[in-house]
Amino acid sequence: MRTRDPEQRQQKIADAVSTIVREKGVKGLTVRSIADVAGVSPALVQHRLGSRPQMLAEVLMLDGSAFNRAVQRIRPRKGGTLAEQVGDILLGLLRFDFTPERLPMIQAARAASWEWNATAEIKVTALLKQLLEPIRRLLKEAASPGRLEPTDVEPLIDLLIAAFNHALRRGIVLGDFVAAEQELERLVHLILGPRQPKPEQSQS
């Protein structure tokens, strides 16, 4: 049965892509197969998704609610340095992406095009920027003259996203998830470094 609700249709498309990738692999992704499983028109799928890399990136973006729940569950260590606290959040997200439910979609997206479709990359990066609000808050709390200026926050977010994507690619390509986590920790400490102050602790 077809639905007229835009959000429901988007979710049906996301669920259909996930189902097809799990059952048939990325080669099973076609406009017609997605439309049939999702119960929507082929024209809507073509308009909404386009190329295979974009299909998969879109699904990763539509799956942002699961990603957001993962963010909310992460609790950075209390009293840690800024780099340690930010690292805890990013490591939690990396481990979420390496879970059996999430990893096949990411692997399929990468396999669909070794060089990410530019539109797909922009969409996934935009999603990450939205979901990294806890890190944005930590950076703003740590801001102080001469050390971390408020204007440094967004450029640092961009660098941290690049570090995250690099570690994710390393884990997928090499199949070594421990090395990917270690690389992410190294890059976070390189970006933020010991020069950054610890976030102020609230007085009870």
Residue-wise pLDDT for 32-43, tens only, equals: 998 999 888 888
CA distance 59 to 106: 10
pLDDT band at residue 29 under the 50/70/90 scheme: confident
Instruction: List the one residue out of 202, 194, 204, 11 whose CA is nearest residue 87.
Output: 194
Q: Examine the pLDDT at 161 and tell me if it is beyond 70.
A: yes
Ranges of CATH 1.10.10.60 domains, the chain: 6-50
The secondary structure of residue 147, as a DSSP letter, is T
pLDDT value of residue 198: 45
| Cα separations in angstroms, 14 against 7, 24, 204 | 11, 15, 45
Share of the chain above pLDDT 70, in %: 71
> What pLDDT does 53 receive?
59
Q: What does the alpha-carbon distance between residue 51 and residue 178 come to, in Å, rounded to a whole number?
A: 32
Mean pLDDT, residues 184-199: 76
For the chain, where do the domains classified as CATH 1.10.357 start and end? 64-192
pLDDT on residue 196: 44
Average of per-residue pLDDT across 146-152: 81
Q: Which CATH architecture has domain 6-50?
A: Orthogonal Bundle (1.10)
* Assigned CATH topology for domain 64-192: Tetracycline Repressor; domain 2 (1.10.357)
CB 108 within 8 A of CB 21: yes
End-to-end alpha-carbon separation of the chain, Å? 56
> What is the predicted pLDDT for the residue at 115?
44
Q: How far is CA 148 from CA 46, 128, 196, in A?
A: 45, 22, 7
How does the average pLDDT of the chain come out, rounded? 77
Q: Region 16-26: what's the mean pLDDT? A: 77
pLDDT tens digits along 41-96 = 888 888 777 666 566 666 665 555 666 677 778 888 888 889 999 999 999 988 88
Q: Beta-strand (E) ranges in the chain?
A: none
Cβ pair 150, 139 in contact under 8 A: no
Q: How far apart are CA 159 and CA 136, in angstroms?
A: 12
**In the predicted model, what is the mean pLDDT of residues 124-129?**
70
